[in-house]
């Protein structure tokens, strides 16, 4: 069907002029194969014939000018500071370019009379236009007369890395294109190109690197973003349909025994959102296909009860239920709260399976294997080879982005096809959910339980901490409890940050000596942790000084105050998750974000957002926007596809279109056998099929 290789897949080091050494630096920019180099797009273009006049420059606008160097002046100040002023002329007016940091090598490239391109944001200096730290390129420098680029009026400006100069990059791209353009395959079928008015792949690539018509570049690039999103969605669509058609799941029956008993034992009614989500889950679990569902809801929206409801549905049908968490603390927390919720159903046996060897583990495992235990909670200890289950019917995976796809696959392959539910501790922005979890059905609890009092959020500078303590003292005196969160466990020589151990000492002896406080962090022994948590839960401890271990799961409604030290150092979702520990009861709660100067512009923006809103979905969107998709989950295993061209924040519309198209195609032609999808089929089964298999569990 296909040739077994394509030269575009050759390693980049084999391209003439690259070699082992340069290849290493190209790899750093994710250029591994020749095809990657062809997809290394310019981030800007230099128009040598640019007609932009210095006279017409607009203040604050990003602008480029081609001109001639007319003066170079280096000024030295005291204490080793210096300034470089280079003036360029367009024949009529002058533009001052200024640098405050520069090396000798940088200075040396300027020569009076040379033609230069400069690009930057226009500012003003005593009435004349100025660019501060502009990007520059000396034109006709180094280029030999034979170079392809010598005669070009438009030059691409590529993203670079150390040891690769702009000239080298241009030469390499040209060489790759020159040698291999015949090998560039089309990846989108005719009917899609037509529908979206996209250029064929080869032509689009050629124009992006070598076109003179800069106005068409944006629409050309769109094709590549679309293509990435489309294949991502094609894979997710196939995975989803696979589950629905191939994988027979258990067909449970809503027996209304344990489930109803749980419902009746709650001291409150379920919210409409919880009811709606439970209906979605029940309808999935009572059907014959395997459930594959993501459960989302803001902090405190009541996901635990919904999850437990699903667990009990499997259990009342005679099956076991599993809950897997990324950390032991979280497992312990779930264990505690589920135990409490099942206090009046002692016939349901729950266990916590921990990692490592400990007394009683062997017996626990035997009981699990014999089916004497109904609910098993734990970390990846649950998927060790030596753990055998009797009959797992339902698996919940908490914060599943912290697990690798392989781990998830392993968990369900061990068993038949239990119903799966993924829990997310904080909301995931829609565009991200669609690209990472686009093969799952999604349930959202979009409502908080009633009579939750709002949380008053305040951002204070560290110098004013005493005022915060005064407020907090008042709360403590009224019998409320307090969390104080620090970024470090113990004092560090490397960074000057407040650590939990020293702060705990001060809280205990100086700040609030009349109240009982405790220290909690990840290095404290489990038995001790349990005791502390229990004492905090029933009010024996008033102040808990901790690290971010309390970020997830802890639920103490009487704790109404949180102080977050060095709030400037935490990400938005983390701050939101932390803040979610308060405001869980019916009393008004307070969250103090303590910032330690200097606070960067981004940190300032984060803190303003935190003070402004308590809506987890809004905060998540903002977090994605500020940090980008790669960082959002804060872990390498997130399963986040590495898009080269698409940006899911910017390309949300494109994503929607790609998703609809991909799902329609798979709906109609699951195996891509229709002749009109030949191009898709070739490309998909060559490149994406391997990845799809990871989802096939
Ligand atoms: P999260 O979604 O953050 O996991 P939890 O499931 O831990 O939230 O629930 C947070 C708190 O709200 C718990 O104390 C829980 O008992 C309580 N809760 C859950 N559902 C309701 C409800 N419908 N009405 C009142 N309180 C509820
Ligand atoms: Mg929870």
- Distance between Cα 300 and ligand 1 center (Å): 5
Q: What are the φ/ψ torsions at residue 684 (nearest 5 degrees)? A: -65, -50
Rounded Cα distance, 570 and 582, in Å: 17
- Distance between Cα 270 and ligand 1 center (Å): 9
| CA geometry: angle 172, 15, 159, nearest 5 deg | 35
- Distance between Cα 301 and ligand 1 center (Å): 6
Q: Choose the residue to mutate in 262, 266, 449, 587 for probing ligand 1, maximizing ligand atoms within 8 Å of C-beta.
A: 449
% of the chain at pLDDT higher than 90? 60
Res 673: pLDDT: 94
Rounded Cα distance, 302 and 304, in Å: 6
Environment class of 603 (CB within 10 Å of its CB; exposed 0-12, middle 13-18, buried 19+): middle
Report how far apart, in Å, the C-alpha atoms of 437 and of each of 201, 274, 434, 641 are: 28, 21, 5, 11
Say if residue 458's pLDDT is above 80. Answer: yes
- Distance between Cα 304 and ligand 1 center (Å): 7
Which residue in this structure is represented by tokens 């003179």? 212
Res 491: pLDDT: 80
DSSP 527-564: HHHHHHHHHHHTTS--EEEE-GGGGSS---TTEEEEEE
Ligand with minimal distance to 302 CA = 1
Ligand with minimal distance to 272 CA = 1
Q: Choose the residue to mutate in 263, 267, 305, 617 for probing ligand 1, maximizing ligand atoms within 8 Å of C-beta.
A: 305
Res 587: pLDDT: 87
CA dihedral 196, 199, 204, 208 (to 10 degrees): -60
Beta-bridged to residue 67, according to DSSP, are 116
CA dihedral 272, 274, 275, 279 (to 10 degrees): 140
Of residues 526 and 68, which shows the higher confidence score?
68
- Distance between Cα 299 and ligand 2 center (Å): 8
The number of the ligand 1 atom at minimal distance from the alpha carbon of 270 is 23
Tell me the two tokens of residue 189.
């079928």
Least confident of 152-161, 308-317, 547-556: 547-556
The number of the ligand 1 atom at minimal distance from the alpha carbon of 584 is 11
On whether the pTM is more than 0.85, the answer is no
- 370-426: pLDDT as tens digits: 999 999 999 888 888 888 999 999 999 987 665 555 565 655 555 578 899 999 878
Q: Whose CA is nearest to atom 24 of ligand 1?
A: 449
Ligand with minimal distance to 308 CA = 1
The number of the ligand 1 atom at minimal distance from the alpha carbon of 445 is 2
Q: Whose CA is nearest to atom 25 of ligand 1?
A: 449
Of residues 48 and 107, which shows the higher confidence score?
107
- Distance between Cα 555 and ligand 1 center (Å): 9
Ligand with minimal distance to 305 CA = 1
What's the mean pLDDT in 496-522? 93
Res 618: pLDDT: 92
CA dihedral over 508, 512, 518, 521, signed as positive or negative? negative
- 558-599: pLDDT as tens digits: 999 999 999 999 999 889 989 999 988 888 999 999 999 989
- Distance between Cα 425 and ligand 2 center (Å): 7
- Distance between Cα 553 and ligand 2 center (Å): 5
What rounded mean pLDDT belongs to the chain?
A: 89
Q: Which residues form the pocket of ligand 1, taking CB atoms under 6 Å from any ligand atom?
A: 268, 270-271, 274, 297, 299-305, 449, 555, 584
Of residues 401 and 697, which shows the higher confidence score?
401
Rounded Cα distance, 637 and 618, in Å: 24
Res 1: pLDDT: 44
- 188-237: pLDDT as tens digits: 999 999 999 999 999 999 999 998 888 899 999 999 999 999 999 999 99
Query: Which pLDDT band holds residue 162 (cuts at 50, 70, 90)?
Result: confident
- Distance between Cα 142 and ligand 1 center (Å): 67
What's the mean pLDDT in 259-287? 96
Ligand with minimal distance to 427 CA = 1
Q: Whose CA is nearest to atom 3 of ligand 1?
A: 300
Say if residue 97's pLDDT is above 60. Answer: yes
What's the mean pLDDT in 129-146? 78
Ligand with minimal distance to 451 CA = 1
Count CA within 13 A, CB hemisphere, residue 517.
24
The number of the ligand 1 atom at minimal distance from the alpha carbon of 302 is 6
Rounded Cα distance, 225 and 185, in Å: 17
Can you give the C-alpha Rg of the chain in angstroms?
A: 30
Cα diameter, the chain: 91
- 510-540: pLDDT as tens digits: 999 999 999 999 888 878 888 898 899 889 9
Query: Which pLDDT band holds residue 681 (cuts at 50, 70, 90)?
Result: very high
- Distance between Cα 268 and ligand 1 center (Å): 10
Res 697: pLDDT: 46
Q: Choose the residue to mutate in 302, 330, 452 for probing ligand 1, maximizing ligand atoms within 8 Å of C-beta.
A: 302
Using DSSP's 3-state secondary structure scheme, residue 516 falls into coil
Q: Whose CA is nearest to atom 17 of ligand 1?
A: 302
Q: Whose CA is nearest to atom 14 of ligand 1?
A: 555
């Amino acid at each position: 069907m296909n040739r077994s290789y394509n030269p575009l897949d050759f390693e980049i080091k084999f391209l003439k002029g690259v070699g082992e050494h340069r290849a290493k630096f190209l790899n750093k920019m994710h250029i591994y194969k020749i095809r990657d180099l062809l997809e290394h797009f310019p981030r800007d273009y230099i128009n040598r014939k640019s007609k932009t006049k210095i006279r017409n420059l607009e203040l604050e606008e990003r602008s480029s000018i081609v001109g001639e160097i007319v003066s170079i002046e280096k000024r030295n100040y005291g204490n080793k500071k210096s300034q470089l002023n280079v003036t360029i002329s367009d024949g009529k007016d002058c533009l001052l370019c200024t640098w405050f940091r520069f090396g000798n090598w940088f200075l040396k490239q300027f020569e009076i009379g040379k033609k230069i391109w400069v690009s930057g944001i226009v500012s003003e200096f005593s009435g004349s236009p100025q660019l501060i730290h502009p990007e520059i390129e000396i034109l006709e420098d180094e280029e030999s007369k034979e170079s392809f680029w010598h005669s070009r009026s438009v030059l691409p400006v590529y993203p670079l890395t150390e040891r690769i100069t702009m000239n080298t990059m241009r030469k390499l791209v040209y060489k790759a294109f020159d040698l291999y353009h015949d090998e560039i395959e089309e990846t989108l079928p005719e009917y899609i190109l037509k529908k979206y008015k996209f250029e064929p792949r080869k032509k689009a690539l050629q124009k992006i690197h070598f076109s003179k018509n800069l106005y068409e570049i944006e629409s050309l690039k769109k094709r590549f973003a679309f293509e990435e999103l489309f294949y991502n969605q094609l894979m997710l669509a196939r995975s989803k349909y696979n589950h629905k058609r191939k994988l027979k799941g258990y067909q449970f029956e809503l027996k209304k025994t344990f489930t109803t008993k749980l419902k009746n034992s709650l001291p409150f009614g379920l919210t409409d959102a919880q009811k709606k989500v439970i209906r979605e889950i029940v309808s999935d679990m009572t059907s014959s296909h395997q459930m594959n569902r993501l459960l989302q809801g803001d902090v405190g929206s009541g996901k635990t009860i919904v999850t437990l409801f699903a667990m009990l549905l499997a259990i009342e049908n005679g099956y076991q239920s599993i809950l897997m968490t990324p950390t032991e603390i979280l497992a312990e927390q779930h264990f505690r709260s589920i135990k409490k919720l099942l206090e009046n159903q002692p016939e349901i046996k729950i266990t916590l399976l921990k990692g490592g060897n400990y007394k009683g583990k062997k017996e626990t495992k035997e009981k699990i294997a014999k089916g004497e235990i109904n609910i098993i909670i734990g970390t990846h200890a649950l998927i060790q080879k030596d753990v055998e289950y009797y009959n797992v019917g339902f698996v919940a995976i908490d914060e599943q982005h912290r697990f690798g796809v392989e781990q998830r696959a392993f968990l369900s392959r061990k068993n038949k096809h239990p119903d799966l539910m993924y829990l997310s501790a904080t909301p995931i922005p829609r565009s991200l959910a669609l690209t990472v979890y686009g093969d799952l059905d999604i349930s959202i609890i979009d409502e908080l339980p009633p009579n939750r009092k709002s949380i008053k959020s305040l951002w204070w500078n560290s110098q004013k901490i005493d005022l915060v303590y005064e407020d907090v003292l008042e709360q403590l005196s009224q019998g409320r409890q307090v969390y104080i969160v620090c970024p470090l466990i113990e004092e560090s020589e490397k960074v000057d940050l407040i650590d939990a151990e020293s702060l705990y000492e001060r809280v205990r002896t100086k700040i609030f000596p009349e109240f009982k406080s405790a220290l909690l962090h990840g290095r404290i022994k489990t038995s001790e942790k349990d005791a502390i948590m229990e004492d905090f839960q029933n009010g024996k401890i008033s102040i808990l000084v901790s690290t971010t271990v309390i970020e997830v799961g802890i639920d103490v409604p009487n704790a109404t105050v949180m102080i977050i030290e060095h709030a400037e150092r935490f990400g938005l979702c983390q701050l939101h998750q932390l803040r979610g520990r308060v405001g869980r009861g019916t009393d008004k709660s307070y969250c103090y974000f303590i910032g330690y100067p200097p606070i960067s512009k981004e940190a300032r923006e984060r803190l303003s957002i935190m003070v402004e809103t308590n809506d987890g979905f809004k905060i998540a969107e903002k977090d994605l926007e500020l940090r980008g998709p790669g960082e959002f989950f804060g872990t390498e295993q997130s399963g986040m596809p590495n898009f080269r061209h698409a940006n899911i924040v910017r390309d949300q519309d494109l994503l929607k279109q790609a998703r609809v198209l991909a799902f329609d195609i798979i709906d109609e032609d699951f195996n891509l056998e229709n002749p009109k999808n030949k191009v898709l089929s070739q490309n998909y089964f060559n490149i994406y099929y391997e990845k799809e298999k990871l989802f096939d569990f």
